[in-house]
Amino acid sequence: MERNNLFPVFLKLDQLHTLIVGGGHVGLEKISGLLKSSPSANITLVARFISEDIKSLTASFPTVQLIERNFRLWDLYGKDLLILATDDRKLHEGVREFARTRNLLVNVADTPDLCDFYLGSVVTKGNLKIGISTNGKSPTVAKRMREFLEEALPDDTNTLLNNMQAIREKIKGDFNHKVKVLNEITTSWLNSNS
């Protein structure tokens, strides 16, 4: 049976520097997703042509730098993540190979075989964040799951999280005891709301 062997992580994009190469529709999709999830992300986007949509979107984000010119290898210096979002596979292959020598993690839009990581769909309700991955097989299914979860999760989920944190801080004992008490609380809450 096939399974998704990806390891999910949540990156602090305000403490990393992401480079996006590509200023068209795909570049817009990638930068939009990053900024929606992490508005203070430190991003540089390089492209020979940068769409007006990207310029308009990023105008109010001071941590985004747009460079309108051809990509150069030295653009990789000082970067932690690389997202390639052009329609030139040969460029992607060459840049990816060089980026790997610099130990950069690379995402190549719509090319799973060249990716070190995928950008999944993300659901955010206050402090709750859920990442959805289809292992690169179907962004459409991931999007539909995101839409379902956004609708299903109550808007006051953040209040629940804050209350659980306050309860956790008041419980005395070791980690195992705290988990047991919190499980009892959430089980009784679920049973009373079903």
Each residue's pLDDT tens digit, 91-121: 999 999 999 999 999 999 988 889 999 888 8
Report the predicted TM-score, pTM, of the whole model to 2 decimal places: 0.85
Q: Choose among 184, 194, 11: nearest CA to 107.
A: 11
CA angle 14, 121, 69 (to 5 degrees): 55
In the chain, what are the domains? 17-119 (3.40.50.720), 120-153 (3.30.160), 157-192 (no CATH)
Residue with tokens 């801080």: 169
Q: What is the pLDDT of residue 100?
A: 93
pLDDT at 194: 58
Do the Cβ atoms of 121 and 132 come closer than 8 Å? yes
Using CA of residue 133, residue 138, residue 143, residue 145, what is the dihedral sign?
negative
